[in-house]
Amino acid sequence: MKCDSIQTTKCQEGKKDPIEMFHSGQLVKICAPMVRYSKLAFRTLVRKYCCDLCYTPMIVAADFVRSIKARDSEFTTNQGDCPLIVQFAANDARLLSDAARIVCPYANGIDINCGCPQRWAMAEGYGACLINKPELVRDMVKQVRNQVENPKFSVSIKIRIHDDLTRTVDLCRKAEATGVSWITVHGRTVEERHQPVHYDAIKIIKENMSIPVIANGDIRSLKEAENVWQITGTDGVMVARGLLANPAMFAGYEETPLKCIWDWVDIALELGTPYMCFHQHLMYMMEKITSKQERRVFNALSSASAVLDYLTEHYGI
């Protein structure tokens, strides 16, 4: 683990913890775990634009525990990166609890990925295959609870739904009984990719839970976030691709404002973001505000200095 910018510090006690947020009655706006993308620099950006809670990209717990190199590359934070949830891919209770103990001083909680539908993850026993293994989920949650002394440290899960929704409700009830802090529901089955999100299913799950439930799936604007929050009765909404395209979405912007683009440039350069990541984020942000020809030119740029020259020439500073 390492810190960029200012020193790594323990998450400040004075800041609201997520559980308090979820019980506020207000919409809690959350940046989803995104492999390669929801790293410190991007989290710093979306926090400037009304994002309440951020997740790290999914980290494989076994690698994180066994390799100092993995810890240094996968988990980077700083004093302002709070509240923060670290998401792990895990299939072993002891390894997960060891990983949780490592990040405990620097985060508000961990999340167990029970929703990733990618073949490699499921083949390793991670991700969405865990929605069919409630006993393993229970054991992992219990082990973390036993090993982490901080009673405010959250343990949550992120799931997909079953074709038979009664199985999902049963999974969630068992998770709640085990001591899960909250559940994020992506409203699609493992097989579904671009089909409409089943917000009605998320609503049913929420109605059967007494712990907070977060809605996730195809939310592209603040208006959509508020609508999903209302129709599902959930305690917050989690957004992935919508924030990649418009990191200022939660502040009510319909498309990425130029100030947000320059904020990204400043943050990314200050934190030493690798060029490919720096450039890819800009490609997402600028897709809606540039022509096809402009995108072709911008996407072909190969250095940070070329990007800065392009932005200065076309948009000023």
In the chain the domains, ranked by start, together with CATH numbers, are 18-248 (3.20.20.70), 258-315 (no CATH)
What are the residues whose beta carbons fall under 8 Å from the beta carbon of 53, sequence distance 6 or more?
A: 18, 21, 28, 29, 30, 31, 83, 84, 85, 236
Distance CA 274, CA 109 (A): 27
241 marked among binding-site residues? yes
pLDDT of residue 1: 56
186 marked among binding-site residues? yes
35 marked among binding-site residues? yes
- Given a contact cutoff of 8 angstroms between Cβ atoms, the answer to whether 288 and 49 are in contact is no
Sequential pLDDT tens for the chain (317 residues): 544 432 333 443 435 789 999 999 999 999 999 999 999 999 999 999 999 999 999 999 999 999 999 899 999 999 999 999 999 999 999 999 999 999 999 999 999 999 999 999 999 999 999 999 999 999 999 999 999 999 999 999 999 999 999 999 999 999 999 999 999 999 999 999 889 999 999 999 999 999 999 999 999 999 999 999 999 999 999 999 999 999 999 999 999 999 999 999 999 999 999 999 999 999 999 999 999 999 999 999 999 999 999 999 998 86
pLDDT of residue 5: 34
pLDDT of residue 75: 96
pLDDT of residue 14: 38
140 marked among binding-site residues? no
- Annotated catalytic residue within 54, 82, 114, 116: 116
pLDDT of residue 89: 97
φ, ψ of residue 53 to 5 degrees: the values are: -150, 135
What are the residues whose beta carbons fall under 8 Å from the beta carbon of 36, sequence distance 6 or more?
A: 57, 277, 280
pLDDT of residue 126: 95
> Catalytic residue at 82?
no
Name the residue type at position 63: D
Interstrand relation of 2-3 and 59-60 (parallel, antiparallel or unpaired):
unpaired
Of the CA atoms within 13 Å of residue 275, those in its CB half-sphere come to 10
121 marked among binding-site residues? no
User: What's the angle, vertex CA 303, arms to CA 301 and CA 305, rounded to 5?
Assistant: 105
Buried b (16+ CB within 10 A) or exposed e, 102-127: bbbebbbbbbbbbbbbeeebeeeebb
- Given a contact cutoff of 8 angstroms between Cβ atoms, the answer to whether 238 and 32 are in contact is yes
In DSSP terms, 236 is beta-bridged to: 28, 214
pLDDT of residue 16: 75
